[in-house]
């Protein structure tokens, strides 16, 4: 099992048995915090832990729990000591992205972060249980009843399932203090980016030239400047002359980052598509399309850094998708839809980011999904997220602007033309759609446009060729959901 997910952590692989209990744990490590002594599994007494992700408030937790209890510099060890503290809601004190399995002599606990940024699956193994970060770890083992542990949920073999986090519901009506809201949002954003840059290794940033990644990169550059470090390393990919490459270069020049770019071709797509689908663990057309530029960006970034910031989550928090425009005159429905879509991210965009970055042994970090930022963003009225160009304009006039309050909060960070640049899907702005059509024609030997049905069938065919038990993978694969709230 651990060999199949060794790409997630090439720095160290360790397998251990919990003394006196039928528990074996294995961990492949990508060392980000405490690189010298943070090997896992972490064992203390009759307890053992393996964890994936980052605990960003680990320094504060160490101070509270007592530094003397810790044996390593690893942020993951705080999970073990919080559990051992006996606090009723100990898991709620963890601030970060994580998935973990913790074992005692007679107990197994497995849990996942609030939004499901980090993955974890559970399967039946005879009368026992098996856990893994990716579905491929179970392939060919004949395991049954495989399921993803839901975001914000904890499984305890003694006490059963417990949902420990719920996404706060979005607000709808506008409030008078628009300027104050924008200023506070900016402060919360700055705090989130600084927190999610905590590491003992260099952290870079994806930069597509779109609003979300540009804001994150601009704020990250400021964090490094304040600490006397930098410049920030930024990474952009696209086909030759694609809008994303042009825009990303302009942003990089504006913020002063050390910029890297990679121009990919249809031939590159043909060569790497099986690798992408195998690691993505899905044949969903939209997921595969967006995974292609993510893969090239991850491969580029891993040549320079071990962790990158990404802009995922901004569209779900601030109404950034084209389909959101249908809600402009119904802020209550928009708030409901944003709340719903946040709850589905683990199966789509977050699965793509995790699988594709980790396939290249790169850690992807998503500051927009910081818990405090989620709480604040959900308290901002939906009428300020998607509105006519002026928030006080009457409903029947003016163009619709998505992520309006986010743009206002960060208007001084970037050139005006970029702050108000219309959103393009990652696979469109990067030129992936055109390159993919050419690649699909090469792979199928067919001429003319390859339709979605044929495209999806090809992806499934490729996926089936990658696994011993492809039905297991397909049954649990992430895919886009269409159960949107009616506007």
Give residue 32's pLDDT. Answer: 87
Q: Which two tokens stand for residue 351?
A: 């699965």
Asked if 100 and 51 touch (Cβ cutoff 8 Å), the reply is yes
Strand partners, 132: 121
Q: Which two tokens stand for residue 409?
A: 């909060």
Q: Which two tokens stand for residue 228?
A: 């006397």
Asked if 444 and 456 touch (Cβ cutoff 8 Å), the reply is no
Q: Which residues are within 8 A (CB) of 126 and not within 5 positions of it... i.e. 6 or more apart?
A: none
CATH code 3.60.20.10 region(s) in the chain: 3-163
Domain 178-475 bears CATH identifier 3.40.50.620: yes
CATH of domain 3-163: 3.60.20.10
Q: Report how far residue 428's alpha carbon sits from residue 421's, in angstroms, rounded to the nearest whole number.
A: 14
Helix, strand, coil percentages, rounded to 5, for the chain: 45, 20, 40
Q: Which residues, given as ranges, of the chain have pLDDT below 50?
A: none
SS3 at position 146: strand
SS3 at position 279: helix
Residue set of the binding site for ATP: 237
Q: Give per-residue pLDDT as tens, 367-387.
A: 999 999 999 999 999 999 998
Q: Whole-structure pTM over 0.85, yes or no?
A: yes
Give residue 422's pLDDT. Answer: 65
Q: Report how far residue 237's alpha carbon sits from residue 444's, in angstroms, rounded to the nearest whole number.
A: 25
Q: Report how far residue 62's alpha carbon sits from residue 92's, in angstroms, rounded to the nearest whole number.
A: 15
Q: Report how far residue 160's alpha carbon sits from residue 154's, in angstroms, rounded to the nearest whole number.
A: 8
Residue set of the binding site for L-glutamine: 75
CATH code 3.40.50.620 region(s) in the chain: 178-475
Residue set of the binding site: 75, 237
Q: Which residues are within 8 A (CB) of 164 and not within 5 positions of it... i.e. 6 or more apart?
A: 89, 91, 92, 111, 152, 153, 154
Strands 153-156 and 144-148 come out as unpaired
Give residue 301's pLDDT. Answer: 98
SS3 at position 148: strand
Give residue 398's pLDDT. Answer: 67
């Amino acid at each position: 099992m651990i060999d199949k997910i060794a790409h997630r952590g090439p720095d160290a692989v360790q397998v251990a048995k919990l003394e006196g209990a039928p528990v074996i744990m294995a961990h492949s490590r990508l060392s980000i915090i405490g690189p010298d002594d943070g090997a896992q599994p972490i064992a203390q007494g009759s307890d053992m832990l393996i964890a994936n992700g980052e605990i960003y408030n680990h320094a504060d937790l160490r101070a509270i729990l007592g530094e003397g209890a810790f044996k390593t510099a690893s942020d993951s060890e705080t999970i073990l000591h919080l559990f051992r503290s006996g606090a009723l809601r100990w898991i709620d004190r963890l601030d970060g992205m994580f998935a973990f399995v913790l074992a005692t002599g007679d107990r197994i606990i497995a849990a996942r972060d609030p939004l499901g940024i980090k993955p974890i699956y559970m399967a039946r193994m005879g009368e026992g249980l098996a856990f893994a970060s990716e579905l491929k770890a179970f392939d060919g083992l004949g395991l049954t009843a495989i399921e993803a542990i839901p975001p914000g949920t904890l499984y305890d073999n003694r006490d059963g399932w417990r949902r420990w986090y719920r996404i706060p519901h979005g607000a709808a009506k506008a409030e008078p203090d628009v300027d104050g809201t924008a200023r506070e949002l900016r402060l919360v954003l700055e705090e989130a980016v600084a927190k999610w840059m905590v590491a003992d290794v260099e952290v870079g940033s994806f930069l597509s030239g779109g609003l979300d990644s540009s804001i994150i990169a601009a704020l990250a550059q400021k964090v490094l400047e304040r600490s006397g470090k930098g410049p920030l390393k930024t990474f952009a990919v696209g086909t030759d002359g694609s809008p994303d490459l042009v825009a990303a270069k302009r942003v990089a020049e504006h913020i002063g980052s050390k910029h890297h770019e990679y121009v990919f071709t249809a031939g590159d797509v043909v060569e790497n598509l099986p690798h992408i689908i195998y690691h993505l663990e899905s044949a969903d057309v939209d997921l595969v399309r967006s995974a292609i530029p993510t893969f090239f960006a991850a491969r580029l970034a891993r040549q320079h850094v071990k962790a990158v910031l990404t802009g995922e989550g901004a569209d779900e928090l601030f109404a950034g998708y084209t389909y959101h425009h249908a809600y402009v005159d119904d802020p209550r429905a928009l708030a409901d839809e944003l709340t719903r879509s946040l709850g589905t991210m683990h199966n789509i965009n977050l699965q793509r980011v995790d699988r594709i970055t980790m396939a290249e042994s790169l850690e992807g970090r998503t500051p927009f999904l910081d818990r405090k930022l989620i709480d604040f963003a959900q308290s901002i009225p939906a009428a300020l997220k998607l509105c006519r160009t002026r928030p006080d304009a009457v409903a029947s006039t003016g163009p619709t602007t998505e992520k309006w309050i986010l743009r206002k909060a960060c208007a001084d960070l970037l050139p005006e033309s970029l702050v108000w640049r219309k959103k393009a899907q990652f696979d469109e702005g990067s030129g992936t759609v055109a390159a993919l059509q050419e690649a699909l024609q090469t792979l199928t030997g067919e001429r003319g446009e390859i339709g979605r049905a044929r495209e999806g069938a090809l992806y499934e065919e490729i996926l089936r060729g990658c696994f011993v038990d492809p039905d297991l993978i397909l049954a649990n694969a992430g895919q886009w959901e269409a159960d949107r709230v009616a506007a």
